[in-house]
């Protein structure tokens, strides 16, 4: 295990600025300029506190041993324990983990939660492994990370290709590393667990519901009706499916979907529940759904629609496709789906973007409720969870919308400014910077 603790000069020089880091740093710096952020605080927030890299061996079903590389980046904990998901994907590397951890810091701050930001995962294509191999990989990863996570220190959650089952394995393995009398009291080391293992009713749909609410709040502010509005979704996993589910229930029409296996379209509408059921019996894939035609992946974002929901990976909307996008609204379910160049083009074209740190914050808000539930030994009801989530999302949306209007900035800059100012206040109150 290698733990790199922040040394300002060294780390500032070392951090390569490229890919997702490039985007998050440009977003941060432009907001920091807008609020004239104290230079010392800018330095602190420009780097990560800790970067943990673990290489660990796992025995495969055929008896061979394979070595995996896992990451956990802890960006900032000025407001509370590090919080953020674990991703299992071939694109996971230190650059992605750093950027995603930074986005978590701004997201938790904007949502008014008592958390900082962290993120991590394993560089792996999980489709190549059996369920029992994935369980062993997850347990070994947890064991390797165990001294660096904890319910009051760093609390992982699901992200791409991880789910409530993954969280149950992590919680179980982590608890087994604690002294017997402390084991069950450590259940909230992760959130997004299954219901019988301390999970929160509604955490499964929390992110997608938050995406839907953000779209609804935008529609209310702009006197737009969602009835009959056409939307497209990239990613039909946890976030994409639930966002589509709630939008369809409110009268909107899903006309195209893309997942890792391909893209489908039907301008008359694709039934969300039918597609979900189909994907469940089709290895999780949407391709060849009977009531649709296949479309070229490259054309996906340029298809005719009113609302576009990227809910898969980062860097999907770029200068290549931004000029041809037809949607009037981009609701970012994914983290970092629009890069800085793509965003500039969209804003010039008058297209609104509800930024990731606001739009997909329902997930981490749901995680916070689960953490509170476990800490207090409670079991919350679904209607209570959804009502609290609604209230939290509305408060954040209104804050960002009003700030953008008052300061004449776009919604992302507004969201970043609010988030950074809350952290700045914490540092100033502690008297670090007279």
Ligand X SMILES: NC(=O)C1=CN([C@@H]2O[C@H](COP(=O)(O)OP(=O)(O)OC[C@H]3O[C@@H](n4cnc5c(N)ncnc54)[C@H](O)[C@@H]3O)[C@@H](O)[C@H]2O)C=CC1
| Residues of this chain that bind ligand AKG (CB under 6 A) | 83-85, 107, 157, 159, 191-192, 335, 360, 363-364, 367
CB of 33 to ligand X, least distance (A): 27
Please identify which of the residues 119, 229, 230, 253 carries the catalytic annotation.
119
Which residues pair with residue 73 across a beta bridge? Answer: 51, 119
CA-based angle 32:315:230, to the nearest 5?
Answer: 105
The nearer residue to ligand X, 112 or 237, going by C-beta atoms, is: 237
- Our finding on whether 315 is near ligand X (CB under 6 A) is no
The nearer residue to ligand X, 330 or 334, going by C-beta atoms, is: 334
Which of 120, 151, 199, 235 is close enough to bind ligand X by CB under 6 A? Answer: 235
CA end-to-end distance (rounded Å), the chain? 38
Q: Of ligand AKG, ligand X, none, which one sits near residue 239, judging by CB under 5 to 8 A according to partner kind?
A: ligand X
| Site for ligand X, residues 342 to 401, rule: CB under 6 A | 360, 363
388 in active site: no
Q: Of ligand AKG, ligand X, none, which one sits near residue 247, judging by CB under 5 to 8 A according to partner kind?
A: none
CB of 364 to ligand AKG, least distance (A): 4
Q: Of ligand X, ligand AKG, none, which one sits near residue 164, judging by CB under 5 to 8 A according to partner kind?
A: none
Which residues pair with residue 52 across a beta bridge? Answer: 3, 72
Which of 214, 234, 266, 315 is close enough to bind ligand X by CB under 6 A? Answer: 234
Asked if 245 and 208 touch (Cβ cutoff 8 Å), the reply is yes
CB of 74 to ligand AKG, least distance (A): 13
The nearer residue to ligand AKG, 187 or 292, going by C-beta atoms, is: 187
The nearer residue to ligand AKG, 104 or 144, going by C-beta atoms, is: 104
Count CB-CB contacts under 10 A for residue 373: 21
Q: Of ligand X, ligand AKG, none, which one sits near residue 19, judging by CB under 5 to 8 A according to partner kind?
A: none
| Site for ligand X, residues 241 to 280, rule: CB under 6 A | 258-260
The nearer residue to ligand X, 259 or 424, going by C-beta atoms, is: 259
Measure the CA–CA gap between 86 and 94, rounded to whole angstroms. Answer: 13
Measure the CA–CA gap between 153 and 83, rounded to whole angstroms. Answer: 9
- The residue with tokens 């603790």 is 5
CB of 45 to ligand AKG, least distance (A): 18
Residue 52 tokens, joined:
């943990």
Number of Cα atoms under 13 Å in the Cβ half of residue 103: 30
CA-based angle 379:384:388, to the nearest 5?
Answer: 115
- What is the pattern of x (binds ligand X, CB under 6 A) and - over residues 202-231? -----x------------------------
CB of 207 to ligand X, least distance (A): 4
Q: Of ligand AKG, ligand X, none, which one sits near residue 83, judging by CB under 5 to 8 A according to partner kind?
A: ligand AKG
Please name the residues in contact with 126: beta carbons below 8 A apart, sequence gap of 6 or more. Answer: 88, 89, 134, 161
Which of 149, 313, 346, 353 is close enough to bind ligand X by CB under 6 A? Answer: 313
CB of 240 to ligand X, least distance (A): 6
The nearer residue to ligand AKG, 105 or 335, going by C-beta atoms, is: 335
| Site for ligand X, residues 159 to 178, rule: CB under 6 A | 159-161
CB of 362 to ligand X, least distance (A): 8
Question: Which residues contribute to the site for ligand X (CB under 6 A)?
Answer: 158-161, 207, 234-240, 258-260, 311-313, 333-335, 360, 363
Question: Annotated catalytic sites, by residue?
Answer: 119
């Amino acid at each position: 295990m290698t733990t790199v603790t922040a040394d300002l000069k060294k780390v500032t020089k070392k951090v390569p600025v490229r890919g997702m880091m490039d985007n998050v740093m440009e977003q941060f710096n432009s907001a920091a300029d807008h609020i004239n952020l104290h230079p010392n605080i800018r330095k602190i927030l420009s780097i990560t506190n800790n970067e943990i890299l673990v290489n660990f061996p796992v025995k495969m079903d055929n008896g061979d041993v394979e070595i995996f590389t896992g990451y956990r980046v802890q960006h900032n904990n000025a407001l509370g324990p590090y919080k953020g998901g674990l991703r299992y994907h071939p694109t996971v590397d230190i650059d992605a983990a750093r950027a995603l951890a930074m986005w978590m810091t701004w997201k938790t701050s904007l949502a008014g939660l008592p958390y900082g930001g962290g993120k991590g995962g394993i560089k792996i294509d999980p489709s190549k492994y059996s369920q029992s191999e994935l369980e062993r990989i997850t347990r070994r990863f947890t064991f390797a990370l165990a001294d660096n996570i904890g319910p009051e220190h760093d609390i992982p959650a699901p992200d791409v290709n991880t789910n409530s089952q993954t969280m149950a394995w992590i919680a179980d393995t982590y608890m087994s590393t604690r002294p017997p009398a402390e084991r069950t009291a450590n259940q909230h080391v992760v959130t997004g667990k299954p219901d019988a293992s301390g999970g929160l009713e509604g955490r499964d749909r929390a992110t997608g519901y938050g995406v839907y609410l953000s779209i609804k709040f935008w529609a209310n502010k702009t006197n737009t009706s969602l009835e009959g509005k056409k939307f497209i979704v990239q990613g039909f996993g946890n976030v994409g499916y639930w966002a589509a589910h709630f939008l369809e229930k409110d009268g909107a029409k899903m006309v195209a979907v893309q997942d890792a296996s391909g893209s489908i379209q039907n301008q008359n509408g694709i039934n969300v529940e039918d597609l979900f059921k189909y994907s469940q019996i089709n290895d999780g894939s949407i391709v060849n759904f009977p009531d649709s035609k296949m479309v070229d992946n490259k054309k996906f974002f340029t298809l005719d629609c009113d609302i576009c929901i990227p809910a898969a990976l980062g860097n999907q909307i770029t200068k290549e496709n931004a000029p041809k996008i037809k949607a009037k609204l981009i609701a970012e379910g994914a983290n970092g789906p629009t890069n800085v160049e793509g965003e500039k083009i969209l804003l010039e074209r008058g297209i609104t973007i509800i930024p990731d740190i606001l739009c997909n914050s329902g997930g981490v808000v749901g995680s916070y409720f689960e953490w509170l539930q476990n800490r207090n030994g409670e079991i919350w009801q679904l209607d209570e969870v959804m009502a609290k989530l609604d209230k939290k999302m509305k408060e954040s949306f209104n804050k960002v919308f009003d700030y953008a209007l008052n300061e004449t900035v776009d919604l992302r800059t507004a969201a970043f400014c609010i988030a950074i100012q809350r952290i700045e206040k914490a540092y100033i109150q502690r008297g670090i910077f007279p």
